Structure 1
């Protein structure tokens, strides 16, 4: 019998379902290993910017089905919109059964205030030149596809995986400054508004650290992504931690690579279950 880890809150972001860079099977392994009270989807779960109906593998559909199933089993699912799934912002404050769609969320956790949002609203490049950000998104998707092929060759030769995008990011001074500015702006705003925790995503950089200024202190948390870092945030026993798939994965929950039995009707069935539960609650 598979024993799932019970946690209070799990936070994932930047999954980018519908793109070549998404590692849906890794995410399914993680979701199959936990039993959270709340699952917070902190933006860019489905990549509507780069959505291509010719590329949406069964493993990507399985992630959606898994989330629907978790909701039907009583998990509170909070979908916070991001820039790549910004079309959902028109449905903000909508609730379907245990699934709610919001642009931001504030929760009280053991007497402390936690502020959740995706983070793109603090990205100047998106606010001032969305077309350039979208172009960069396509470039990033191509780079991750190339990286997949490169890592496939490395693994065949028994060598360690390598992230081309991380190497490029870390070697560009402007990128390092951009990330630091992003974290500082968000942390300062959280301190100004009296939030003990500020939880975001967007920049694909998992992090958990205290940030101070002359007005106070907050804990800055970033859930990372499921394109290159494979990370999530977990809250349990009044503490936060960063889950890292590469270090923490549990073998009994690994998704079968050859599993091809999932069809579109399975996804429709999962959505129907959520809808039936909604009708019962009414």
Structure 2
């Protein structure tokens, strides 16, 4: 019944791009993603890597019901006719052993060129292949992954303290990560290298994930799109039926305590920001 209501009331888009869900990590906001998927229906869904967090699952098994719910929701969308393409990342690189394979209505591809409704062509890939640390120093990448987990845990306590003080939400982990990467100019360099790869493939733009930094911007004539993540920012990119690309952020809202029943987190669009017509 819920799915019927979802389908009736859903916002319909041509294509949906999601990455870095990290199912299997305690930091994954799977419930938020479920709400987002209930609101949006797409003809094609691209899962742009790090959907399942194999690194963390190897360290310790963590797979709550909401992880199953996300998987089942995607499979159900596939059964209803949506095309679902899985482009693996570094955290779910075990999927890269199965290019061209279809399972449960989901097709696996190392990368793919997506042709938008306006005829513009986008290279879709996760992006870790352009991360020097991941490619050449896997041990350091795992160490950084552990440090990020620690920052996420600290973030929970900081968020609680700020809420008690009446201060707005502020992400310590996102701030710390951004400061480090600014120090080495990592984000800018990553974006430039990925845009260069799109140029080499003679396409109009590139859609990737990996660095958890959602943005749509022009880089020397190439439209660079990063879908962000579902660990902190809860962002996705949609293509509308005219080919327009839009970055959507999802925000957690709690129902007032005066309502009957337990307090339930729901998700609403925070802002349809960074909206851009790909040049």
Answer yes or no: same fold by TM over 0.5: yes
CA distance in 2, matches of 1:228, 1:240: 21
Alignment of 1:65 onto 2:72: yes
Query: 1:106 corresponds to which residue?
Result: 113
Query: 2:24 corresponds to which residue?
Result: 18
Cα pair 2:46 2:86 within 8 Å, conserved: yes
1:121-167: CA deviations, max 9, x gaps?
00000111111101211221122122123324434554322211222
Query: 1:228 corresponds to which residue?
Result: 232
Instruction: From 144, 150, 154, give the equivalent of 1:146.
Output: 154
Structure 2: runs of 5 or more not aligned: 256-261, 266-279
CA RMSD of aligned residues (A): 2.3
Change beyond 3 A, Cα 1:83–1:54: closer
CA distance in 2, matches of 1:173, 1:98: 38
Change beyond 3 A, Cα 1:176–1:243: farther
Query: Matches of residues 206-225 of structure 1 in structure 2 within 5 Å?
Result: 206-212=214-220, 217-225=221-229
Query: 1:278 corresponds to which residue?
Result: none
Change beyond 3 A, Cα 1:158–1:68: farther
Cα pair 2:122 2:204 within 8 Å, conserved: yes
Query: 1:124 corresponds to which residue?
Result: 132
Cα pair 1:169 1:176 within 8 Å, conserved: no
CA distance in 2, matches of 1:173, 1:19: 22
Cα pair 1:13 1:226 within 8 Å, conserved: yes
Alignment of 1:4 onto 2:5: no
Cα pair 1:20 1:145 within 8 Å, conserved: no
Give the number of equivalent residue pairs.
Answer: 250
Q: Secondary structure at the match of 2:84?
A: strand
Query: 1:28 corresponds to which residue?
Result: 34
Query: Matches of residues 264-275 of structure 1 in structure 2 within 5 Å?
Result: none
Instruction: From 102, 105, 122, give the equivalent of 1:95.
Output: 102
Measured after TM superposition, the shift of residue 57 of structure 1 is 1.6
Cα pair 1:169 1:175 within 8 Å, conserved: no
CA distance in 1, matches of 2:97, 2:65: 27
CA distance in 2, matches of 1:55, 1:160: 30
Cα pair 1:50 1:138 within 8 Å, conserved: no
Query: 1:273 corresponds to which residue?
Result: none
Measured after TM superposition, the shift of residue 45 of structure 1 is 0.6
Measured after TM superposition, the shift of residue 234 of structure 1 is 0.4
Cα pair 2:123 2:207 within 8 Å, conserved: yes
Structure with more contact order per residue of length (Cα contacts < 8 Å, sep ≥ 6): 1
Cα pair 1:118 1:200 within 8 Å, conserved: yes
Alignment of 1:86 onto 2:90: no
Measured after TM superposition, the shift of residue 38 of structure 1 is 0.6
Instruction: From 26, 43, 59, give the equivalent of 1:37.
Output: 43
Query: 1:267 corresponds to which residue?
Result: none
TM-score by length of 2: 0.83
CA distance in 2, matches of 1:31, 1:58: 16
Cα pair 1:81 1:88 within 8 Å, conserved: yes
CA distance in 2, matches of 1:93, 1:126: 24
Alignment of 1:205 onto 2:209: no
